[in-house]
Chains A and B, each alone.
Chain A
Amino acid sequence: MAECLWEDNMKNPLDSITGTIVSGLILTLVLYMFLKNFILAGV
């Protein structure tokens, strides 16, 4: 039941400009970590 309640309350962050910008900043961090720790790790 708790899982259902969570899903009902979920909102798409792209519905707001603020959510879009925060998502972009988080994605930047994720891709940076991916680059540093996976692609450039052995270089």
Chain B
Amino acid sequence: MENMEFVPAFARWIHFLAGITWIGLLYYFNLVQTPAMKDATADGTAAGISKHIAPRALLWFRWAAVVTWLAGAALLGPNFVPAFTLQPEFAGIGIGAWLGTIMLFNVWVMIWPNQQKILGMKPATDDEKAKARRVALLASRTNTMLSIPLLFFMATGLSHPIV
């Protein structure tokens, strides 16, 4: 492998590993944990999920998001600006990059601070927890929705050469 090929190949590998961790946990939250919490609350077993599972899942979730974005930026390399400014030859992956950036923002600004209130890591009143649940749910669902076009533009390689 030529030296010039090593960085994009390594960045792509890390981007895939971290991305699978991030989006896999996002789908776990939306398809498994959130629906299960209703049943667990009903039979009094929700505390175990809130105490032992959710904090660990959120730890891997939010840091995998950061690593995914950084590896994606490294993969774009000199094409970072052309992608984010939607220059025609990089517009497809640029749309994906913008979607990923919005999702990273949602993780750190909308989901994580509200989950800290929900899980009791930050003090919050019952009203504040109820509001935090709603905001965190909608932000998480928004990311699930955005992941669908994100993966489309990554997978199809529309308008851009494989970088």
Contact B159 A28 (CB under 8 A): no
Q: Which 3 pairs between the two chains have the least Cβ-Cβ distance?
A: A24-B148, A14-B141, A28-B149
Contact B146 A27 (CB under 8 A): yes
**Could you tell me which A residues sit within 8 Å of B by CB distance?**
12, 14-15, 17, 20-21, 23-25, 27-28, 31-32, 35, 39-40, 43
Contact A27 B159 (CB under 8 A): no
For chain B, the bracket of interface size reads: 20 to 34
Contact B152 A28 (CB under 8 A): yes
Q: Give A20 to B30 CA distance when docked, in angstroms.
A: 10
**Could you tell me which B residues sit within 8 Å of A by CB distance?**
30-31, 86, 88, 91-92, 95, 137-138, 141-142, 144-149, 152-153, 158-159
Q: Give A20 to B148 CA distance when docked, in angstroms.
A: 10
**Interface residue SS majority, chain A:** helix
Whole-angstrom distance from the CB of B93 to the nearest CB of chain A?
A: 11
Q: A17-B31, A20-B30, A31-B95 are in contact. Are A43 and B148 (CB under 8 A)?
A: no
Whole-angstrom distance from the CB of B70 to the nearest CB of chain A?
A: 24
A28: which B residues are within 8 A, CB to CB?
A: 148-149, 152
B142: which A residues are within 8 A, CB to CB?
A: 14
Please name 16 pairs of A and B residues whose Cβ atoms are closer than 8 Å in the assembled complex, sorted by A: A12-B138, A14-B138, A14-B142, A17-B31, A20-B144, A21-B145, A21-B148, A24-B146, A24-B147, A24-B148, A24-B149, A27-B149, A32-B158, A35-B91, A40-B88, A40-B159
A24: which B residues are within 8 A, CB to CB?
A: 144-149
Contact B145 A23 (CB under 8 A): yes
A23: which B residues are within 8 A, CB to CB?
A: 145
Q: A17-B31, A40-B88 are in contact. Are A35 and B158 (CB under 8 A)?
A: yes
Whole-angstrom distance from the CB of B36 to the nearest CB of chain A?
A: 13
B88: which A residues are within 8 A, CB to CB?
A: 39-40, 43
Whole-angstrom distance from the CB of A42 to the nearest CB of chain B?
A: 8
